[in-house]
């Protein structure tokens, strides 16, 4: 059963883009569109969008890079450990909770480290893996998406992202404990 699921999952991922491209091309031909010309016309915007998001991305990545290099996450972990124990949140996963919305590669590095230290099939390893899987690099997404249309007044977007992040993490910790422990 698991192998079947795995096979289906791999096939869907591999076929999704080609099927999408094929469908778009066939539909465009049926509509008698000048396919090549229209594609090139649309593709022209790629460069502009890239240029627009550069300053936003530089700002975000510089702040995140400095934060990661400063060891601030370890300082926060040491400071918050007793508090986290009280709500049943493993202190070893706090760095992951802080890193996840900031940096995708940072969170993946932490996951690899946790899997090596505690074992990839340990409860802690699976909790960390679920945390990475159930969320996004929120700040990166907000910076790039809003940056692409030059929006600086982001209203409630950041709060909503963080609330969802916390809800996902707490669920990840609890569900893994219920299923695997």
Partner 1 sequence: MLNWIWIGLILIALMSAGAQDLGLIHLPEAAGHVAEKGSRMAAVTEAAFDSAKTAVNIVIGLIGIMAMWLGLMRLADKAGLVQLLARVLKPVLRRLFPDVPDGHPALGAMVMNIAANMLGLGNAATPLGLKAMEELDKLNPRKGTATNAMCTFLAINTAGLTLIPATVLGILAAAGSKAPYAIISTTLIASGVATITAIIAAKILERLPIFRVPRDGEGPPPDGGPDAGKDGSP
Structure tokens at 112: 């690899």
Q: CB nearer to partner 1: give 86 or 153.
A: 153
* Distance of alpha carbon 128 from alpha carbon 107, whole angstroms: 9
Which residue shows structure tokens 């993946």? 108
135 binds partner 1 (CB under 8 A): yes
Task: Identify residues 139-168 at the interface with partner 1 (CB under 8 A).
Answer: 139, 141-146, 148-161, 163-165, 167-168
Contacting residue, 7, 12, 83, 85, with partner 1 by CB under 8 A: 12
Q: CB nearer to partner 1: give 41 or 83.
A: 41
Q: CB nearer to partner 1: give 42 or 82.
A: 42
Q: CB nearer to partner 1: give 84 or 146.
A: 146
* Distance of alpha carbon 138 from alpha carbon 165, whole angstroms: 8
* Residues 94 and 131: beta-carbon distance below 8 Å: no
Q: CB nearer to partner 1: give 89 or 165.
A: 165
* Distance of alpha carbon 84 from alpha carbon 77, whole angstroms: 9
Shortest distance, CB of residue 85 to partner 1, whole angstroms? Answer: 19
Task: Identify residues 26-45 at the interface with partner 1 (CB under 8 A).
Answer: 27-28, 30-31, 33, 35, 38-45
123 binds partner 1 (CB under 8 A): no
* Residues 100 and 132: beta-carbon distance below 8 Å: yes
172 binds partner 1 (CB under 8 A): yes
* Distance of alpha carbon 180 from alpha carbon 58, whole angstroms: 41
Helices (H), 70-133: 72-87, 94-99, 104-118, 123-133
How many residues interact with partner 1 (rule CB under 8 A)?
A: 106
- 138: Cα within 13 Å, side-chain hemisphere: 19
Residues 74-93: x where in contact with partner 1 by CB under 8 A, - otherwise, as a string: xx--x---------------
């Amino acid at each position: 059963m698991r192998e079947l699921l795995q096979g289906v999952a791999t096939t869907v991922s591999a076929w999704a883009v080609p099927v999408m491209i094929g469908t778009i091309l066939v539909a465009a031909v049926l509509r008698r569109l000048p396919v090549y010309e229209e594609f090139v016309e649309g593709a022209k915007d790629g460069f502009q969008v890239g240029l627009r998001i550069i300053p936003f991305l530089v700002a975000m990545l510089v702040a995140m890079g400095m934060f990661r290099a400063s060891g601030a996450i370890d300082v926060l972990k040491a400071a918050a450990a007793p508090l986290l124990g009280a709500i049943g949140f493993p202190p070893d996963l706090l760095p992951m909770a802080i890193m996840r919305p900031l940096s995708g590669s940072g969170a993946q590095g932490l996951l690899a480290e946790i899997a090596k230290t505690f074992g990839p099939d340990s409860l802690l390893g699976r909790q960390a893996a679920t945390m990475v899987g159930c969320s996004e690099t929120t700040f990166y997404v907000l910076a790039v998406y809003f940056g692409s249309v030059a929006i600086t007044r982001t209203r409630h977007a950041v709060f909503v992202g963080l609330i969802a992040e916390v809800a996902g993490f707490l669920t990840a910790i609890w569900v893994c404990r219920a299923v695997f422990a």
